[in-house]
Amino acid sequence: MLFLQQLINGLSVGSIYALIALGYTMVYGIIKLINFAHGEIMMAGAYIAFLLAVNTNLPFVFVLVIAMVLSAVIGVVVEIIAYRPLRKAPRISVLITAIGVSFFLQNLALVLFKADPKIMPELINKSPITIGPLQVGTVTLTTLFLSIIFMIALDLFVKRTKPGKAMRAVSEDKEASILMGINVNRTISMTFAIGSALGALGGVLYAVMYTQVFPTLGVLPGLKAFVAAVFGGIGLIPGAVLGGFVIGMIETFTKAYLSTQWSDAIVFGLLIIVLLVKPTGILGKNQKEKV
């Protein structure tokens, strides 16, 4: 009974990590950048949802869509202003810039909203649903359902649509893509937009699940999502999904059967083990770089 309950909880938390990890892995796959500001995009989405929930009577679906759209705009603006001018710079320069953008967005939220946590209104009815011997919260089911729907939609978009194929082409060979007439800048911006929208979706669901919004909201989930992306194979969409669910399950079962104090240590310890044993991740493949 407890095992099944924790299994469902683990899938729910893991689906949020998977959504956030998709943003990391999509950006890395196309421009080889670890966007450490991605957790702050998640935080921005949560704050946008909070403001809409407090100041309007919009249904949850509209709040979610607006938060995702505005977060996508923020992601594109960050890419154009902070990352595009450094496209040909050394990777360490871009990495430092990403960390700088992360701190900038955190402190901007601190100035705008202050440090005290804001209580997220009840956007989803939290009455439990009984499934046989189990009682599952509507927030848990909604989180799992929305996450799976958007993951499937992303997979279909990347594999079946022309913009999705352009993203795959730029990821494989940027120079050849230019010769084939693909607008690389527009494709990269679209990747940031989609990744940021998914990050915002994860942020809203995370804030609804834990009922709080604060300036450093995206730090720990963002780091865990990064661990998930590396665990599954960064740059690979299936790897991000696999990693997200695995990290969510490990965290949930650790809290249930061992200790809440050990859950984060075990998750980050797992990252070290994976990097030592298989640096490219579970689904990653070793690739030789041309010199």
Tens digit of pLDDT at every position of the chain (291 positions): 678 888 888 888 999 999 999 989 998 888 888 899 999 999 999 999 999 999 998 999 999 999 999 999 999 999 999 999 988 888 889 889 999 999 999 999 999 999 999 999 988 877 777 777 777 788 888 888 898 999 899 989 988 899 999 998 988 888 888 888 889 999 999 999 999 999 999 999 999 989 999 999 999 999 999 989 988 888 888 889 999 999 999 999 998 888 888 888 888 888 888 888 888 888 876 655 444
DSSP three-state, residue 164: helix
150, 204 contact by CB (below 8 A) = no
Instruction: Return d(Cα 63, Cα 11) in angstroms, integer.
Output: 24
Q: Six-digit token pair at 244?
A: 């997200």
Task: Give the angle 276-274-16 at the CA atoms, nearest 5°.
Answer: 155
The pLDDT, as a whole number, for residue 258 is 84
The pLDDT, as a whole number, for residue 288 is: 52
> For residues 21 and 137, what is the distance between their CA atoms, to the nearest angstrom?
24
d(CA 287, CA 280): 9
Q: Residue 205's closest CA among 268, 266, 263, 151?
A: 151
Residues 120, 233: Cα–Cα separation, whole Å: 33
Predicted structure pTM score: 0.90
Q: What does the pLDDT read at residue 43?
A: 96
37, two tokens? 């500001």
pLDDT at position 286 is 60
Given a contact cutoff of 8 angstroms between Cβ atoms, the answer to whether 71 and 199 are in contact is yes
* Cβ-contact 190, 158 below 8 angstroms: no
- Give helix 2-31 / helix 237-257 axis angle, nearest 10°: 150
In CATH, what class is 2-277? mainly alpha
